[in-house]
Amino acid sequence: MKYLHRIALALLTFVVGVAVAPIHFHPEGIGCGKVIDGGGGFSITSYTSSYFVKLAFAHEGYASPEKANHVFSQRLTQVVQVLEHGPKLNRDGIVVGQRAMTLFFSPEKSCYYAEVLWTDGRSLHSIVSTSALHVREFEKHQR
Could you read off the pLDDT of 80-91 as tens digits, one per residue? Answer: 999 999 999 988
Looking at residue 142, its pLDDT comes to: 80
Helix (H/G/I), strand (E/B), else coil: 131: coil
Residue 30 lies in a domain: yes
Helix (H/G/I), strand (E/B), else coil: 45: strand
Task: Tell me which amino acid residue 141 is.
Answer: H
> Which residues lie closer than 8 Å to 80 by C-beta, 6 or more apart?
102, 103, 104, 105, 112
Helix (H) or strand (E) holding 114: strand 111-120
Residue 17 lies in a domain: no
**Residue 29's pLDDT band (boundaries 50, 70, 90)?**
very high
Instruction: Assess contact for 111 and 128: CB atoms under 8 A.
Output: no
Could you read off the pLDDT of 69-81 as tens digits, one per residue? Answer: 999 999 999 999 9
Range of the domain at 118: 23-142
pTM score of the predicted model: 0.81
Residue 89 lies in a domain: yes
On the question of pLDDT at 103 being above 80, the answer is: yes
Q: What is the CATH number of the domain that holds 69?
A: 3.40.1000.20
